[in-house]
Amino acid sequence: MTATKAALRYLACLACVSILVWICHAIVPVNATTVALAMLLLVLGIATRWGLGEAIFTSVACMLGFNYFFLPPLGTLTISDPQNWVALCAFLVSAIIASQLSARAKSRTEEASARRGEIERLYQLSRALLLEETSDITRIALLRAGDIFGLRNIAFYDADSKHIHGSLEEPFLSESELARVAASNEPATGKDCAIVPVRLGTRTIGALGFSGRKLTVPERDSLANLIAISLERSRALDRATAAEAARRGEKLKTFLLDGIAHDLKTPLTAIKTCVSTLITIPPRTQEERAELLGIIDEETDHLQRTITEAIQLARIESGKVALERHVFRIRDVTDRVLLTVGDRQRFQVSVPPDLTVSADAGLLEQAIKQLVENASKYAPGSKPIEIAARSENGSMLFQVLDRGLGISPNELSLIFGKFYRGSRGRNSAEGTGIGLAIAKGIVDAHGGSMWAENRPGGGAIFSFQLPIP
């Protein structure tokens, strides 16, 4: 509370006493007992509304007014009857004790209200964390804690990984200071900043720093405990995810063997059959001979394409791809890709002609071709396929949008794996599951990122981002 506000309160107390004395003395004359009770009620009201200091000041003012206007000799601050001294002292003591009790009750009410607010905020945070199922719980916990507790900055230092979650915009919340608190296990406080150690059981696992609001000791201890629990839960989810990935890895091996067996055995079988037919049963007409040779040529191309993709994927994963970067228009690459696909009218292109990117044009063309062929393979022939690109936050965002079967939510993180094919289209389209892995490997080699998501209304969206020169 500012000095000006405090002064106004004391003036208000003095005004209340003056008005009460004026009413009881000039407007409605009453006896001294009635005045004393009225003044006692005024003191209690002020103690309840504002506090002990104002109540004591009001008690003294009431005592002086009571003495001057209602105790003989009137108009003086002297008291002629010794019994009136007893009455005056009793009034003053009663007023002070009553004001203390009222102020204490008010203080306890405010404390209970503050404690209830603390519990509500902690409940909101704990409930939000319990409902969160992602592995990035620690970051989400910090964001929620900052919003719920009204903090300007909040950061957590993980002593095991030496990694900091959250913001470090406050000079007090430096990485070195967080590390020092985590190592010493001793909290550090500033004006409206604090850094406290975070413990999980008896072990210190890091330090939590925050600024913008002074938290009570129970609040900051409870907040640190919730952050520790969220970190442990995040690690538990990571362990569960790793176990699930291992289980799916075994399943992936089965898909790998099936894909290799199918994509290598099928063309070899067709070639062997046609060659055997040409050797053992010579065709009677030139048309039959040309048909068999055409099958051999087609299946040989299929076999060569499968082996080439496998070799290319191995080169990308080994890091042996040499990028020949230069700046070019992404629209030119898109047009070249569309020349190689059938049914050009099926594609709706929304790529600005002046949008440029710095990359290896040949490799990027292969990545886009893989995405376009994937969409053509799994989307119904009657549905259009959209190709769009735009600049976004200093990057080029390229997207291929189809109206196919979409991707199962639990397969979104697996769809770019080697030889992995989505369960929804596994039986409706041929392929080894290498194409998307090659496309993602090319984009990753350029320092970009690629992801897949389901499209509202049905279908899938495959996107990647690359820096704009």
Which DSSP state fits 351?
-
Residue 352: the pLDDT is 92
The pLDDT value given to residue 65: 82
Question: What pLDDT, in 10s, does the model give residues 367-388?
Answer: 888 888 888 887 777 788 999 9
pLDDT tens digit sequence for 296-308: 777 776 666 666 6
For residue 195, the one-letter residue type is: I
What residues are paired with 388 via a beta bridge? Answer: 350, 399
CATH number of the 326-467 domain:
3.30.565.10
Domain positions in the chain are: 3-113, 137-240, 243-318, 326-467
Domain 137-240 shares a fold with domain 326-467:
no
Q: Report the topology of domain 137-240.
A: Beta-Lactamase (3.30.450)
Q: What is the pLDDT of residue 121?
A: 66
Angle at 245 between CA 243 and CA 247, to 5 degrees: 70
Helix pair 52-70, 82-130: axis angle to 10 deg: 160
Helix axes of 82-130 and 137-149: crossing angle, nearest 10 degrees:
150
- Spatial separation of the C-alpha atoms in residues 276 and 273, rounded to whole Å: 5
Q: Which fold has domain 243-318?
A: Helix Hairpins (1.10.287)
Structure tokens at 69: 């206007």
pTM over 0.85: no
> What pLDDT is recorded for position 80?
61
Element (H, E) at 154: strand 153-158
Residue 200's CB is within 10 A of a number of other CB atoms, namely 15
- Quick one: pLDDT at residue 302? 65
N-terminal to C-terminal alpha carbon distance within the chain: 56
Residue 220 has a pLDDT of 72
Under-70 pLDDT residues of the chain: 1, 51, 77-92, 94-96, 98-99, 102-103, 112, 114, 117-137, 167-168, 237-238, 240-267, 270, 278, 281-284, 301-322, 342, 418-433, 469
pLDDT of residue 331: 92
Phi, psi of 214 (to 5 degrees): -85, 115
Q: How far is CA 149 from CA 172, 178, 215, 241, in A?
A: 19, 20, 8, 31
The answer to whether residues 460 and 336 touch, using CB atoms and an 8 Å cutoff, is no
